Amino acid sequence: MSTEAQTRPARPNGCTAGEGMCHVLTADAIAVSQPTSEINLLNLLIIDDERSMRESCREVAHSLGFNTHVADSPEHAYHSLDANPVDVVLLDLRLPGTGGLEVLREIKRRRPETLVIVMTGFATVQSAVQAMKLGAYDYITKPFNFDELRLVLERVTSHLKLTSENRLLREQLKSKHGFGSLVGHAPEMEKLYRIIAKAAHSTHPVLILGESGTGKELVARSIHYSGPYRDKPFIPVDCGSLVPSLIESELFGHVRGAFTGAVRAKDGLMTTAEGGTIFLDEVGELPVDLQTKLLRAIQEKEVRPVGGTRSVPINVRILAATNRDLEAAVQQGSFRRDLYFRLNVLTLRIPPLRERPQDIPLLIGNVLERVNAATQTQHAIGDDALRLMLAYNWPGNVRELENCVERACTTCSLSNIHVADLPTALRNFQAFPKPDFQSKEADAITPLDQVEKQAILHALDVLKGDKLQAARRLGIGKTTLYRKLKEYGSAV
Ligand SMILES: Nc1ncnc2c1ncn2[C@@H]1O[C@H](COP(=O)(O)OP(=O)(O)OP(=O)(O)O)[C@@H](O)[C@H]1O
Ligand SMILES: [Mg+2]
């Protein structure tokens, strides 16, 4: 979204780095002002050839909380529409050249969901009526004052808010536990659902960030399946597990004879996903040369199969995910900055499970429901097990929780799951409560054996109960560690 234009270094000719086509842009032809986190704000594109008009409209729109983009010609407007998730367009009907009505037609063709308010300088009902017939949402006659413009923009804002709330409500109704197959009602998750609902109805790339097991793929699927192209393919590609020499042909396809073994031509996954979504999982693992080719494919909207001479047009929505710190990778030079900005139009951060413990009972219930239905059983969670699961820090997030409950269902002797049925990582967590190294009293003296005990328990906590590692890192023999633990009365 907006940060793209804001943070990319400008090229000397006015084109921003990473752009496919180079448009010579006037200083304010593409201007944006809000960080990506503000994605609940509406995006407004102002198209007018008069600078003072653009500036005045921008001022009013800013005061109403819009992200604004401005364009002084139809070409810049199309470029901005392609590059930004625009919700509303303020269009001057009296544009030189093509004329506003033609631009309106083109906007509606490219982005049918975008609401267009036309500004007409002639106050001719005729052109306004024509514009409304072509799908304009509203019109305003020039000259107008700030209050008139404010009124029109406020009207469009409440219209959009209402439609997105309705859409969200419909989506949420589908699942009583969360959103689609995503379970959780923590405020961070509710916020995530709102963003997913919005992202689903845009065609811009989304970068999904989150620790392992937080549900990145599930979120990608939710974006695809709650959007208008849900009937088209959703193609996940694990960039981390593909053999580097084969990634290019997997993504872009190859022609017959392109390499040894290429006995027949094959379409790439980018082409297979036509009209739908390609999900580039673990995108941070993509080798640098492939990053360059991917960037070109996204910009040019076409791919060239390996060994081929002709490019094939593609029409695919890109979602990407990683649990790596991509910003750091960009700093280190292992990930292309321009590709990062391309993928990062919208960013979704999925919170780790330890930050939303209130969802743990719901998630456990969800797994139990599934297991019980599949195995015709009546498993339930015991209070002791639930208490421990609520206190645990879940480094493997929802995936770890799912595995934990599924395993407990197969191993527990009674239908209620108790602490004894939980994996060692959890039981050790209980045995070694978090030690407190920092005494609240500055002059307090800690006996040496206490310091030793705290150091041992701390090491086990950090190393998730791995005693061999702990002994090695503490610089003591493993038998000494076992003996000490026995003294402390901890389960060995
Ligand atoms: N909010 C959630 N509600 C229900 N199930 C979830 C949720 N989040 C994750 N899961 C489940 O947890 C498992 C892991 O999810 P997913 O594969 O989407 O995670 P991931 O972030 O892609 O993990 P990794 O980084 O390891 O690839 C899946 O079985 C998924 O169904
Ligand atoms: Mg994944």
Tell me the per-residue pLDDT of 191-249, one tens digit each, with 9 for 90 and over: 999 899 889 988 899 999 999 999 999 999 999 988 888 888 999 999 988 887 788 89
Question: What amino acid is encoded at 116 in this protein?
Answer: V
In angstroms, what is the span from residue 163 Cα to ligand 2's centroid?
31
Residue of 293, 311, 310 whose CA lies nearest to 302: 311
| Closest CA relative to residue 295, chosen from 324, 337, 328, 323 | 337
Pocket of ligand 1 (CB under 6 A): 182-184, 210, 212-218, 323, 398-399, 402
List own/partner pairs for 121-129 with CB under 8 A and 24 or more apart: 121/92, 121/93, 121/94, 122/94, 127/93, 127/100, 127/101, 128/93
Pocket test residue of 175, 190, 193, 218 for ligand 1, highest count of atoms within 8 A of CB:
218
**Pocket mutation for ligand 1, best pick of 217, 355, 368, 400 (most atoms within 8 Å of C-beta):** 217
Distance CA(205)–CA(198), nearest Å, equals: 12
Tell me which residue has its CA closest to atom 10 in ligand 1. Answer: 215
Neighbour-count burial for 284-321, b at 16+ CB within 10 Å, e otherwise: bbbeeebbebbbbbbeeebbbbbebeeebebebbbbbb
Query: Of the ranges 54-58, 87-91, 232-236, 261-265, which one carries the lowest mean pLDDT score?
Result: 261-265
pTM, two decimal places = 0.60
pLDDT digit string, tens, across residues 306-341: 999 999 999 999 999 999 889 999 999 999 999 999
The Å distance, Cα 356 to ligand 1 centre, comes to 15
Residue 388: pLDDT band by 50, 70, 90 thresholds?
Answer: very high
User: What are the phi and psi torsion angles at 396 (to 5°)?
Assistant: -95, 10
Task: For 90-130, write each residue's pLDDT tens digit.
Answer: 999 888 877 889 999 999 988 888 999 999 875 566 788 88
How far is the centre of ligand 1, averaged over its atoms, from the C-alpha of 367 (Å)? Answer: 12
Atom of ligand 1 nearest to the CA of 321: 22
Residue 36's pLDDT is: 32
The pLDDT tens digits of the residues spanning 427-464 come to 888 665 555 555 455 566 667 777 788 788 888 877 87
Give the strand pairing for 138-141 and 115-120: parallel
pLDDT at 65 exceeding the cut of 60: yes
